[in-house]
């Protein structure tokens, strides 16, 4: 019997297609001496028969994930800093109306995008529930409201600040299961000619690259143009543009407006036609994906065991949230991966969720190179390869597992 749940978009039937087992919270890095019981949930994903939206079967309470000590810093990558600075400049140049425009960001994290908006003097607010990262944004001159964005937050902002010309959200809209409330909020807060722009990992790329590590507690929805178009329609909004992005392993940026406010670009129909041709949520496609995931697990674990049995060392590179899924699903612990290096201060000195692999600074990896490095932050490959050229020059080899297991 298929396992089903109710779609958060259209109330249709969501049919499970992959079960990644009992998983910890992906960003819950622990002190090594902690005796606190660890929180686990069942990580599984389904596709809605009605609107095609791909979504988690179980929801983790938001306060468990996003709190004062949420460790992820958006500014940790030079490439991402440039990406968001570019986007901020584009929004400033193209989407502001009237003499006192207003920009709202949902999930501004450490202010990586809004610092450029703040520096230009444009009125703005970043809504960010995680206190530590919100404080970093404020220290960059960004106006922050420490809160979860939902309908009540939106109505409150509307009351005090008026309509928004731009509502922007990167890597956050997909994190929000209570999307009905958020969409009602956006519909109310958005100016008549305004845009709601968001970017998130693209399900088409996840299927193409077997990047199953995009699946973890924080990533509730896996969008396609088809499912977003339907979601918009059900909310009185309309999808008028889609733009593929190379960031975070393949994303799509969606532009929504009040229904009928702008003519959709040709890119929308073209993308939807391509998705129909690829049958992204057809049972065959999904079962091929599951087989691919199982193959990656077998090959990766075999590779790591062979290296260990030869007495050689492997260190992980990038204690990503994504890596929690790979390590826990594959059962990779400190016996196979000595430690993981990561530049984020709040992760160093801790151990990874579930598998309890130590996280150390990149300097520790550079001090005594291992024979192999497992590229867990594969979405930042170019930046990391450039930074760590000396590793390969010294004979070190990179292990990757996206789109397939390879050693170079």
> For binding to ligand SAH (CB under 6 A), which residues are involved?
66, 70, 72, 74, 106-107, 109, 112, 127-130, 133, 148-149, 170-172, 175-176
Give the Cα separation of 80 and 360 in Å (integer): 22
* CA quadruple 180, 112, 218, 201: dihedral, nearest 10: 80
Q: For Zn ion, which is the closer residue by CB, 12 or 362?
A: 12
Q: Is the distance from CB of 27 to CB of 38 less than 8 angstroms?
A: no
Segment near Zn ion (CB under 5 A); pick from 47-55, 121-129, 188-196, 357-365: 47-55
Rounded to a whole number of angstroms, the minimum distance from the CB of residue 175 to ligand SAH is 5
Q: For ligand TYD, which is the closer residue by CB, 102 or 173?
A: 173
Which of 25, 19, 24 shows the shortest CA–CA distance to 5?
19
Give the Cα separation of 157 and 161 in Å (integer): 6
| 3-class DSSP state of 228 | helix
Residue 128 binds which one of ligand TYD, Zn ion, ligand SAH, none, with CB within 5 to 8 A depending on kind?
ligand SAH
Size of the site for ligand TYD (CB under 6 A): 19
Q: For ligand TYD, which is the closer residue by CB, 214 or 226?
A: 214
Q: For ligand SAH, which is the closer residue by CB, 60 or 300?
A: 60
340-341 and 314-317 strand pairing: parallel
Q: For ligand SAH, which is the closer residue by CB, 66 or 212?
A: 66
Beta bridge partners of 124: 103
Q: What are the phi and psi torsion angles at 218 (to 5°)? A: -75, -25
Which residues touch 348 (CB under 8 Å, ≥6 apart)? 342, 359, 360, 361
Tokens of 14: 């969501």
Quick one: angle between helices 225-234 and 266-278, nearest 10?
Answer: 120
Among 50, 132, 292, 403, binds Zn ion (CB under 5 A): 50
Residue 48 binds which one of ligand TYD, Zn ion, ligand SAH, none, with CB within 5 to 8 A depending on kind?
Zn ion
Rounded to a whole number of angstroms, the minimum distance from the CB of residue 92 to ligand TYD is 25
Range 132-171, binding Zn ion (CB under 5 A): none
Q: For Zn ion, which is the closer residue by CB, 8 or 271?
A: 8
Q: Is the distance from CB of 373 to CB of 360 less than 8 angstroms?
A: no
Residues in contact with ligand TYD by CB under 6 A are 72, 76-77, 318-322, 342-344, 347, 362, 377, 379-380, 383-384, 387
Residues in contact with Zn ion by CB under 5 A are 7, 9-10, 12, 48, 50-51, 53
């Amino acid at each position: 019997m298929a396992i089903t749940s109710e779609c958060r978009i259209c109330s249709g039937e969501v049919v499970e297609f992959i079960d990644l087992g009992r998983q910890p919270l992906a960003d819950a890095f622990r002190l090594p001496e902690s005796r606190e019981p660890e929180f686990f949930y069942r990580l599984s994903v389904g596709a809605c028969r009605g609107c095609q939206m791909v979504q988690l079967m179980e929801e983790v309470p938001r306060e468990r994930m996003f709190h004062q000590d949420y460790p992820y810093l958006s500014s940790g990558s030079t490439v991402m800093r440039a990406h968001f600075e570019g986007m901020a400049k584009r929004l400033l140049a193209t989407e502001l109306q009237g003499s006192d425009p207003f920009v709202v960001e949902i999930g501004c994290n450490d202010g990586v995008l809004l610092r450029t908006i703040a520096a230009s003097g444009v009125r703005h607010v970043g809504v960010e529930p995680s206190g530590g990262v919100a404080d970093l944004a404020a220290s960059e001159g960004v106006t922050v409201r420490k809160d979860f964005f939902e309908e009540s937050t939106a109505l409150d902002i509307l009351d005090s600040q008026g309509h928004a010309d731009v509502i922007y959200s990167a890597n956050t809209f997909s994190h929000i299961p209570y999307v009905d409330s958020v969409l009602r909020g956006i519909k109310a807060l958005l100016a008549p000619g305004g845009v709601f722009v968001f970017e998130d990992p693209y399900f088409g790329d996840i299927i193409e690259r077997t990047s199953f590590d995009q699946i973890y507690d924080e990533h509730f929805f896996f969008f396609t143009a088809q499912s977003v178009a339907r979601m918009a329609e059900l909310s009185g909004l309309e999808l008028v543009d889609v733009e593929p992005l190379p960031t975070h392993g393949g994303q799509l940026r969606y532009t929504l407006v009040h229904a009928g406010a702008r003519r959709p670009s040709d890119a929308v129909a073209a993308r939807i036609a391509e998705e129909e041709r690829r049958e992204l949520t057809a049972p065959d496609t999904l079962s091929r994906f599951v087989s691919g995931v199982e193959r990656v697990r077998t090959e990766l674990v075999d590779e790591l065991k062979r290296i260990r049995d030869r007495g050689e060392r492997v260190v992980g590179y990038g204690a990503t949230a994504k890596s929690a899924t790979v390590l826990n699903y594959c059962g990779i612990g400190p016996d196979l991966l000595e430690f993981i290096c990561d530049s984020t201060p709040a992760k160093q000195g801790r151990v990874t969720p579930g598998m309890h692999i130590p996280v150390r600074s990149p300097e520790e990896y550079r001090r005594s190179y291992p024979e192999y490095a497992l590229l867990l932050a594969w979405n930042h490959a170019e930046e990391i390869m450039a930074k760590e050229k000396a590793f390969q020059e010294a004979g070190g080899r990179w292990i990757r597992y996206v789109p397939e297991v390879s050693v170079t």
